[in-house]
Chain A
């Protein structure tokens, strides 16, 4: 089953070991969990025998491997609220009580948060709308908030449940492994797909025993080639395998992947006496900046998952999600519940907000795409986990069909059994409705909200649909962003001082714009680095190359915005006091992938990409309670 082979890519001189499997999966998130759940359940016939035979190990069941970058499955922190239709279909008797940190949704609120500090940027139109809203009977002046009296059906999650994705994937992973029919290998980053003549024939694991630049050192172990008849790609929005396939094979005509968001989240022990009941779901908008949305989901035993989303259409070079998260928590509407609470866990993740806009080729010779990287996230309903799970189930059903019939994993066959199933599914129907729902945000917050309402209430018939800009095109120069509040000369002085001292420019700018210093209480409000330590632990296995690199150092040297620094969730990217690109510290990187799209400079070779590359890396943030 193993052999020595020579690689076919840029490093042909390195002899590599290779291993054969029947199916290899990349990433263990909800999509691959759904796929493997469906596949392993169907692989055994009523007589207890496998319904298909392995081609690489004749006489045995198909050999199914899954490789996951993190040191264990479900290591990232992620609270979700979901209707859970596909998950319930897979587990009809699902009892949320069987999964830690899960509960049925009991109540939902949507609240508009006014700015009690006067520090945020609000357009004239928004200020006028807020003035009108303050006269509504639902406005609570003391809380600086307005709870919507009605929640549009497309936003409602009842009768769904809140759950921790980490706990859920661990629970599912244990069940899959328990069947003995699939192996999920954590701590194993996949570097790239093996593509030959347009066919994906497996994956290459990341090299080990290399220095930061990827050069061999003592203990060098070239990443193994794992070949398989089918490669299932579910490595999320910033996964190197999915993006490499897109780079090699392109996106379908008219598709683009330009809308992103960073979700920064925390798990909080609510203070004694907090009245929020388990299953409470709160969504917020309006503060700390109008473009930043927030959420709070209440689990059993006084625990809540909460956080904010910072989108790529936030026209600001000051994109520090961590500081904004703290200001958001301190808003009176939320602080009445959170004051006295304790941070239990923390994390961040990029979300593929492009949804169906960026849907890649879902299948090709030897591969299929599922989950978030396949454009399954529904940006209208704000739902992605259940959709990702559903795409995995659909592929699982299709693959079982091909295995039973002994047919090959060709593009035609996969389109017949998977893509066509997906096109007929509720995931597709709802994704079509949602496709243009957020485009209005390209024009502004009010237009975006109007666009979402139009799309949602008309079932997708009416949309505001301007052209969607590339992420780097949305980032204004700092001087422009500060205009009217900080003189250009002072911006230049701040920039020079921060660079010389290795300080964060975004903090200096926010201070100067009137955002108050956050007073740390040592429990919930803690420094950014303490959040990394209290909320989890960054795993950065030794012997791996840096997975974040700056492509054209000249562009970095000329960059005046340094959004990669302000947007870095773990402060892993910092200002370089000397000439050259920003500094990257792998041991602080939480693998959120924000740097991939929070760059104000386009890749000289590809205007759709930025000047930052985000490759395969080991570890990432291992949240305390995920």
Chain B
């Protein structure tokens, strides 16, 4: 059984950046957003690595990465991502700042997926970050699945085990730190990934070269995506409170570190 795997993922500010929300003309934004170093959304990156791993094990499979984001920044980030695993890129040019409505993003992604030449829906696995592009609500992948008529949906996925008959077993995170194992009869399905089990692949210049032949044309062909937050009013935007206290301790046992962090959080 081979798959047509579409991974949905865009860029986010590098996770350790200090972000500063500001009021922009089109609603909330991040200060100096286009200057902030960006990376592929780590959740989506996990999904991409899982997709590539699955495709490698299922000859005849194909992997697309569909991104809605500012194409100048995407181009920059793709030079790093492209060295990791083979994929074909589909780009919709638009904001990816975290204040876009999940429904808008899902609609743009659906339009992009529908436009992929040669995509066979009976082999379609829609991958993405579990909580990506939705401010943690997990809405985007669900809505995307609904728009595309894909009703088999799994969220918080850490593992996918394909069987020879086309079915597959999915391990999902559920409430209370537990896991749920399900068996799905087969594609099409939506899988919103948590972290998966794969390490970040090493940079492979040959993979990069191979990807780049398709990435640059994809960036040049990028169409504008009609995404935003029209009709949405943000009452307030603020960052979670942060307390910083640095202490350097060498070779402390993990249990001690955990205990100290818990005490520190409790205050």
Contact stretch, chosen from B42-50, B148-156, B201-209: B201-209
Q: Which of B32, B203, B206 has the most CB of A within 10 A?
A: B203
Smallest CB gap from A539: residue in B: B14
**Nearest residue, chain A, Cβ from B250:** A502
From A2, A19, A173, A186, B80 is in contact (CB under 8 Å) with A186
Decide yes or no: A183 and B212 within 8 Å by CB, A100-B34, A174-B76, A219-B202 being known contacts.
yes
Residues B205 and A177 in contact, CB atoms below 8 Å apart: no
B201-237 CB mask vs A (1 if < 8 Å, else 0) is 0111110110010001000100000000000000000
Interface residues on B, range: 20 to 34
Kindly state whether residue B35 has any CB partner on chain A within 8 Å.
yes
Please name all residues of chain A whose beta carbon is closer than 8 Å to the beta carbon of B72 when the two chains form the complex: 174
B76: chain A residues at CB < 8 Å are: 72-73, 170, 173-174, 177
Beta-carbon contact of B206 and A177 below 8 Å: no
A174's closest neighbor in chain B, by CB? Answer: B72
CB-based contact A534/B18 at 8 Å? yes
Which chain B residues border A219 with CB–CB below 8 Å? 199, 202
Residue B57 interfacial (CB < 8 Å): no
The answer on a CB contact under 8 Å between A208 and B202 is: yes
Determine which of B77, B203, B208 lies in contact with A208 in the assembled complex, contact meaning CB atoms within 8 Å. B203
0 or 1 for each of B160-202: is its CB under 8 Å from A? (1 = yes): 0000000000000000000000000000000000000001101
Who on chain B is nearest to A626 by CB? B37
The residues in B between 1 and 46 inclusive whose CB is less than 8 angstroms from any CB of A are: 14, 16-18, 32, 34-37
Complex-state Cα separation, A124 to B226, whole angstroms: 71
Question: Which chain B positions have C-beta within 8 A of A177?
Answer: 75-76, 79, 216
Chain A interfacial residues counted at CB < 8 A: 48
Whether A95 is near chain B, meaning CB under 8 Å from some CB there, is: no
Residue interface mask A517-542, B partner, CB < 8 A = 1: 00000100001011001100100011
Query: With a CB–CB cut-off of 8 A, which chain A residues contact B212?
Result: 183
Enumerate chain B residues within 8 angstroms of A170, measured Cβ to Cβ: 76
Which listed residue (A101, A529, A543) contacts B202, Cβ 8 A? A543
Q: Is the CB of A184 within 8 A of B79?
A: yes
By a CB distance below 8 angstroms, the chain B residues around A541 are 203
Residue A305 at the B interface, CB < 8 A? no
Which B residues touch A226, using CB under 8 A? 205
Q: A residues within 8 A CB of B83?
A: 185, 187-188
Quick check: B35 and A186 within 8 Å, CB to CB? no
Distance in Å: Cβ of B196 to nearest Cβ of chain A: 16
What 0/1 pattern do residues 68 to 108 of A give for CB contact below 8 A with B? 00011101000000000000000000000000110000000
Contact of B80 with A533 in the complex, beta carbons under 8 Å: no
Tell me, yes or no, whether B248 is within 8 Å of chain A by CB: yes
Residue of B nearest to A343 (CB): B18
Q: Using A100-B35, A178-B75, A187-B80 as known contacts, say yes or no to A624 and B205 having CB atoms under 8 A apart.
A: no
* Chain A hits for B248, CB < 8 A: 529, 571
Q: Which residues of chain A have C-beta atoms less than 8 A from B18's C-beta?
A: 344, 534, 624
Docked Cα-Cα span, A178 to B215, in Å, equals 11
Q: Is A611 an interface residue (CB 8 A)?
A: no
Answer whether residue A167 sits at the interface, using C-beta atoms and an 8 A cutoff.
Answer: yes
A454 interfacial contact with B, CB 8 Å? no
- Cβ contacts under 8 Å, A522 to chain B: 244
| CB < 8 Å neighbour of B206 from A73, A184, A224, A626 | A224
Q: A226 CA to B206 CA in the complex, in Å?
A: 10
Do B244 and A533 have beta carbons less than 8 Å apart?
yes
- Bound together, the chains give a CA A186 to CA B16 distance in angstroms of 19
Q: Which residue of A lies closest to B217 (CB)?
A: A180
Residues on A with beta carbons closer than 8 Å to the beta carbon of B244:
522, 530, 533-534
Decide: A533 and B79 in contact? CB cutoff 8 A.
no
Which A residues are CB-close (under 8 A) to B205? 19, 65, 67, 185, 188, 205, 224, 226
B25 to chain A, nearest CB (A): 17
Instruction: Verify if A209 is at the interface (C-beta below 8 Å from B).
Output: yes
Which single residue of chain B is at the shortest CB-CB distance from A522? B244
Q: Tell me which residues across on chain A come within 8 A of B34, comparing CB atoms.
A: 100
- Tell me whether B246 and A75 are in contact (CB under 8 A): no
A5 to chain B, nearest CB (A): 13
Q: Do A2 and B206 have beta carbons less than 8 Å apart?
A: yes
A19 to B75, CA, bound (A): 23
Give min CB distance, B71 to chain A, whole Å: 10
Say how far A205's CB is from chain B's closest CB, in angstroms. Answer: 7
Instruction: Report A385 CB to chain B, min CB distance, Å.
Output: 19
With A186-B80, A542-B200 already in contact, the answer to whether A180 and B14 are too (CB < 8 A) is no
Q: What CA separation (Å) do A543 and B14 show in the bound complex? A: 21
Cβ contacts under 8 Å, B208 to chain A: 183, 185
- 10 further interface pairs, Cβ-Cβ under 8 Å (given A72-B79, A187-B83): A2-B206, A19-B209, A173-B76, A180-B216, A188-B203, A188-B205, A219-B202, A224-B206, A530-B244, A543-B202
| Minimum-distance CB pairs A-B, first 4 | A208-B202, A537-B16, A529-B246, A100-B35
18 contacts between A and B (CB under 8 A): A17-B206, A19-B206, A72-B37, A174-B76, A177-B75, A177-B76, A183-B208, A183-B212, A185-B79, A187-B80, A188-B205, A502-B250, A529-B246, A529-B248, A533-B246, A534-B18, A625-B35, A626-B37
